[in-house]
Amino acid sequence: MNIGIVCYPTYGGSGIVATELGMEMSKKGHNVHFISYSLPARLDVTIPNIFFHQVHIEEYELFHYQPYSLALSTLMVEIAENNGLDLIHVHYAIPHAYAAYIAKQILKEKNIELPIITTLHGTDITLVGKHPSYQSAVEFSINRSDVVTTVSQSLKQDTYEVFNIQKDIQVIPNFIDNSLYKFDCKDLRENLAQKQEKIVIHVSNLRKVKRVTDVIKIFNEIQKKVECKLIIVGEGPELEAMNNLINEFHLQDKVRILGKVKDLNKILCISDLFLLPSSKESFGLAALEAMAAGVPVVSSNAGGIPEVNIENSTGFLRDIGDVEAMSQASIKLLSDDEKLEQFKKNARQNALKFDLNQILPQYEKLYQSVI
């Protein structure tokens, strides 16, 4: 197959899922053409059958906002024509599904049929998509996609609630390659914490929906009862608010902010507990990655998180903003070595349900069905 994939290039979950999916498809012999405004963070362009096409924006001073969707549609048409694309799979509705619809109409005029698959990832529905500035265009482009998928049951429900959707939505959960999370990184652990200390970790793009200030508040409570360190991986707009809180609580010696890291799987493998107190989370790919590395999760019960993190088995789920309850759950788990070991095993076991070998065939079947 000749597959087009449109995604955001950033470290966000939608771009990561799109990139991993495309790379796996290429390993199966398909040609995969990535379209984005810059090289996707995890994309390995040395893999045969992978092609990257950058959306070029011609800046013009008349435009206060450059018309990105227009340039994206134009590029999709060009790539579909030149490479005989069998389908285009867009990740994140805004503006990708809309731009794909326009590209499809342009190609129709040239007697070329281009099926569109749209995968909804979360805030394209639950936050940005439902804003009055976008709602009707997002609803239209979902309804006009040939196939629509969501990454969780919860997001499917939200989509039906927020929009007037006239088609079936298929749920294909996010996936991971479990084989990438088996390390014994004793040296790395020694670099980051004392032997007796537990390692608590949070990984995200540090945006408001991640409630990263709650992460600091929860850690502040944990460290009063359990010897531990906190590792923060990622960059984003809430970094300053987080730092202010770290200073206010005098936690400078106990918190390491690593920014963007290359070997996230190795850092996860040395961790004991993952915190994810998000106010919105359609799936929680970061939590799944942690679980694959054998790290239990204390999280909020937002959106699709309960489909990934299982109460009293792989971790604990508490109400959004309930810092006290999340702190207590974390202390309980970190203070009981036997329980912690069992939860680590459960986390690893549950992550196997989302292994790429389980999920990839679902996408392949879907691709075959539209062409």
Which residues bind to ligand GMT, rule: CB under 6 A?
A: 8, 12-15, 17, 121-123, 151, 174, 209, 280-285
Residue 205 tokens read as 């793009």
**What gap in Å lies between CA 228 and CA 196, rounded to an integer?**
8
With CA atoms as reference, report the closest residue to 120 among 158, 85, 71: 158
d(CA 6, CA 34): 6
- Cβ–Cβ < 8 Å for 287, 268: no
Distance CA 293, CA 295 (A): 6
Q: Which is nearer to ligand GMT, 84 or 237 (CB)?
A: 237
Instruction: Give 209 or 255: the residue with its C-beta nearer to ligand GMT.
Output: 209
Q: Measured from the CB of residue 123, what is the shortest distance to ligand GMT in angstroms?
A: 3
Q: Smaller CB distance to ligand GMT: residue 83 or 170?
A: 170
CA atoms within 13 A on the CB side of 240: 1
Q: Which helix (H) or strand (E) holds 282?
A: none
Contact 20, 288 (CB under 8 A): no
Nearer to ligand GMT, 34 or 283 (CB): 283
C-alpha–C-alpha distance, residues 132 and 284, integer Å:
26
Instruction: Let me know: does 295 contact 274? Beta carbons within 8 Å.
Output: yes
User: Which lies closer to ligand GMT via its Cβ, residue 8 or residue 181?
Assistant: 8
Q: Compute the least distance from the CB of residue 168 to ligand GMT, in Å.
A: 19
Give min distance, CB of 277 to ligand GMT, in A.
12
Tokens of 230: 């906190």
Cβ proximity to ligand GMT: between 95 and 122 the closer is 122
Q: How far is the CB of 370 from ligand GMT (least distance, A)?
A: 21
**Quick one: 63 or 160, whose CB is closer to ligand GMT?**
160
Strand, helix or coil for residue 278: coil
Q: What is the dihedral of CA 70, 81, 362, 282, to 10 degrees?
A: -10
Q: What is the CA radius of gyration of the chain?
A: 21
**67/145 Cα distance (integer angstroms):** 21
Closest distance of CB 191 from ligand GMT, Å: 29
| Residue type (1 letter), 135 | Q
Minimum Å distance from CB 111 to ligand GMT? 35
Polymer length in residues for the chain = 371
Please, what is the minimum distance in Å from the beta carbon of residue 17 to ligand GMT? 5
CA distance 15 to 36: 10
Q: Which is nearer to ligand GMT, 25 or 287 (CB)?
A: 287
Shortest gap between Cβ of 226 and ligand GMT (angstroms)? 28
